[in-house]
């Protein structure tokens, strides 16, 4: 079954964006790729890239100590805290009041998708710097405007947005940047692997960042087969599908891309 057929099978149940291509950034298949969705945790990839840029510039250091706290400036004014009940990465919470290295927080942010670690890294990096990474490579439609769990900002309509095409553009940039090996290794160590990695053979290197929330399930990554050129696949879904079905859909799209990895242009 082709990707178009898979998408036809869920037509009417939500919005689905797909971008598939190689590391040259040229797409071979697109479907609703320019439409933005609530970004969920996919915004953590631009945050990581902005952090790496500041590390390379000497403004930050991976070994610098950061005090773990849960009190942040809201994009709507005032303060907010991360909801621990909605953070599925517990390790950062065990360090409240303690100092940990910035690199440890970055690892928790990407490999475990920790929301608290993300807001701590974002506080150091700055929302403008993280958004600048996304704007540099993307279309300008996607944006990072606030931290995770900034409820006041969310209520004011200040949201983080991501399209499949813009997530792909950032992944292409990361995949081609010799200085971004640190971020690529973090992505490859992602422990949440129910989407793209589930659709390709076990052991395949997939440098990916996913995201999920109510009605939201996204994933985007660089897949590196041993017997073919790397390819980039991103899929953003905002739908009424049960979450497990959305994951299976992304995995099925990845499996179809994998079957065509030697001649990606034949994907339909």
Phi, then psi, of 219 in degrees rounded to 5: -160, 145
pLDDT digits (tens, 9 = 90+) for 88-142: 999 999 999 999 999 999 999 999 999 999 999 999 999 999 999 999 999 999 9
CA distance 171 to 236: 14
Judged by DSSP in three states, 117 sits in: helix
Per the prediction, the chain carries an average pLDDT of 98
> Where along the chain do its domains lie?
3-266
Classify strands 99-101 and 161-163 as parallel, antiparallel or unpaired. Answer: unpaired
Q: What is the pTM of this model?
A: 0.98
Q: Is the pLDDT assigned to residue 42 strictly greater than 90?
A: yes
1: confidence class by pLDDT, cuts 50, 70, 90: confident
Q: So what's the pLDDT on residue 11?
A: 96
Mean pLDDT, residues 64-83: 98
Q: So what's the pLDDT on residue 127?
A: 98
Phi, then psi, of 216 in degrees rounded to 5: -115, 130
CA distance 105 to 111: 10
Mean pLDDT, residues 27-50: 98
Q: So what's the pLDDT on residue 192?
A: 98
Judged by DSSP in three states, 147 sits in: coil
What's the CATH architecture for 3-266? 3-Layer(aba) Sandwich (3.40)
Residue 128 burial class via C-beta count within 10 angstroms: exposed 0-12, middle 13-18, buried 19 and up: exposed
Q: So what's the pLDDT on residue 208?
A: 98
206: confidence class by pLDDT, cuts 50, 70, 90: very high
CA distance 40 to 149: 10
Going by C-alpha positions, the residue among 112, 115, 73 that lies closest to residue 191 is: 112
Contact of 45 with 167, CB cutoff 8 Å: yes
Classify strands 79-80 and 231-239 as parallel, antiparallel or unpaired. Answer: unpaired
Contact of 18 with 234, CB cutoff 8 Å: yes
């Amino acid at each position: 079954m082709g990707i178009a057929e898979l998408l036809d099978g869920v037509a009417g149940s939500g919005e689905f964006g797909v971008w598939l291509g190689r590391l040259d950034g040229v797409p071979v298949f697109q479907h609703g790729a320019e439409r933005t969705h609530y970004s969920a945790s996919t915004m953590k990839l631009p945050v990581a890239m902005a952090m790496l840029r500041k590390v390379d510039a000497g403004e930050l250091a991976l070994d610098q100590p950061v005090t773990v706290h849960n009190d942040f400036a809201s994009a709507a004014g005032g303060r907010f805290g991360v909801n621990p009940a909605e953070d599925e990465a517990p390790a950062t919470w065990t360090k409240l009041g303690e100092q940990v290295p910035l690199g440890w927080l970055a690892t928790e942010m990407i490999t475990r998708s920790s929301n608290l670690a993300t807001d701590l890294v974002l506080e150091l990096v700055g929302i403008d710097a993280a958004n600048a990474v996304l704007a540099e490579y993307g279309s300008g439609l996607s944006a990072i405007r606030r931290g995770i769990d900034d409820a006041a900002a969310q209520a004011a309509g200040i949201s983080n947005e991501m399209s499949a095409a813009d997530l792909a553009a950032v992944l292409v940039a990361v995949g081609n940047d010799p200085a971004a090996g640190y971020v690529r290794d973090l992505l490859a160590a992602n422990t949440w692997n129910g989407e793209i990695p589930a659709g390709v053979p076990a052991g395949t290197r997939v440098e990916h960042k996913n995201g999920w929330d109510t009605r939201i399930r996204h994933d985007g990554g660089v897949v590196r087969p041993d017997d073919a050129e790397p390819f980039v696949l991103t899929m953003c879904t905002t739908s009424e599908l049960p979450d497990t079905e959305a994951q299976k859909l992304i995995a099925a799209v990845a499996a179809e891309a994998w079957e065509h990895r030697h001649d990606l242009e034949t994907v339909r």
